[in-house]
Amino acid sequence: TQLLEQSPQFLSIQEGENLTVYCNSSSVFSSLQWYRQEPGEGPVLLVTVVTGGEVKKLKRLTFQFGDARKDSSLHITAAQPGDTGLYLCAGARTGNQFYFGTGTSLTVIP
């Protein structure tokens, strides 16, 4: 049983379109991270959200942490081919426990 479920699992869109990826759980996390990973490389940290209801913006990416700290979303505006990759959310709990989401594979077509 996966603690964090991401949706959609796969997403293929045209350059310039907007998209949202969801990361949902029934458990509470002390913080939540979003990573992007390219094939054969390690995940690269995009953002950490800590406070319930927090919104962070990173250029065309907007991250939100749910009020109850159980879920999060990633919104990309005007997607570009360079956004292609595997997007992973990861929730942190006590005792250095990190739980990864199921992953969303994004392809942006030029």
Partner 1 sequence: DTEVTQTPKHLVMGMTNKKSLKCEQHMGHRAMYWYKQKAKKPPELMFVYSYEKLSINESVPSRFSPECPNSSLLNLHLHALQPEDSALYLCASSQVSSGYEQYFGPGTRLTVT
Report the interface residues with partner 1, using CB under 8 A: 30-31, 33, 35, 39-45, 48, 50, 86, 88, 90, 92-98, 100-103, 105
CA angle 91-66-108, nearest 5°?
Answer: 75
DSSP annotation of 79 reads -
* CA atoms within 13 Å, Cβ hemisphere of 9: 2
Residue 14 C-beta: closest distance to partner 1, Å? 21
Q: How far is the CB of 1 from partner 1 (least distance, A)?
A: 14
Choose among 104, 77, 101, 74: nearest CA to 12.
Answer: 104
Rounded to the nearest angstrom, the gap between the alpha carbon of residue 64 and the centroid of all alpha carbons in its chain is: 9
Q: In this structure, how many other beta carbons lie within 10 angstroms of the beta carbon of residue 27?
A: 12
The residue among 2 and 77 lying less far from partner 1, judged by its C-beta, is: 2
Residue 15 vs 41, nearer CB to partner 1: 41
Shortest reach from residue 33's CB to partner 1, in Å: 5
Q: Give the whole-angstrom CA distance, residue 102 versus residue 110.
A: 26
Least distance from C-beta 109 to partner 1, angstroms? 18
Q: Which is nearer to partner 1, 74 or 88 (CB)?
A: 88
Q: Name which of 40 and 82 has its Cβ closer to partner 1.
A: 40
